[in-house]
Amino acid sequence: MAEERTRERKRRPGPPKTWTAKEADEAVQVLKGALVGVGITLPSVDRAYGELSMPLVELGRARPDVVVSLADCLTELVELRGVVKSLMEASESEKEAVTADG
């Protein structure tokens, strides 16, 4: 599971570079899939056409309730990451204590 998430993170776009139209299209599909996974639909999400040297993803417009739902999901994710980080740190501390005692 952790290995799968690591591979997933490596696929995500990183710092600015020269993006291809295909990469922009793939980013749109990844975003749409993630939004569907949390019950959010942004019908206007698409690749912005026109600028060929730097294709962009058009996020478009959304109803206020959809924007609030998206913000709630992001906030929850940040909170969960904090909890996971705390648990991992506690687990590492316990391992170190056991090793020191052993």
- Indicate whether 39 and 84 sit together in one domain: no
- Indicate whether 54 and 77 sit together in one domain: no
- Indicate whether 46 and 72 sit together in one domain: no
pTM check: above 0.75: no
Domain that holds residue 30: 1-61
- Indicate whether 7 and 47 sit together in one domain: yes
Q: How would you label 65-97 residue by residue, b for 16+ Cβ within 10 Å and e otherwise?
A: eeeebbeebeeeeeeeeeeeeeeeeeeeeeeee
Residue 1: what pLDDT?
46
Amino acid at 37: G
Kindly give the confidence (pLDDT) of every residue in the chain, 102 residues in length, as a single tens digit, with 9 standing for 90 and above.
Answer: 445 554 555 566 555 567 788 888 898 999 999 988 888 888 888 888 776 667 888 888 888 888 899 999 989 998 998 999 999 998 888 877 777 766
Residues in CB range of 35: below 8 A, 6 or more apart = 41, 42, 45, 70
- Indicate whether 48 and 10 sit together in one domain: yes
Q: How many domains does the chain have?
A: 2
Residue 19: what pLDDT?
76
Is residue 25 exposed (0-12), middle (13-18) or buried (19+ Cβ within 10 Å)? middle
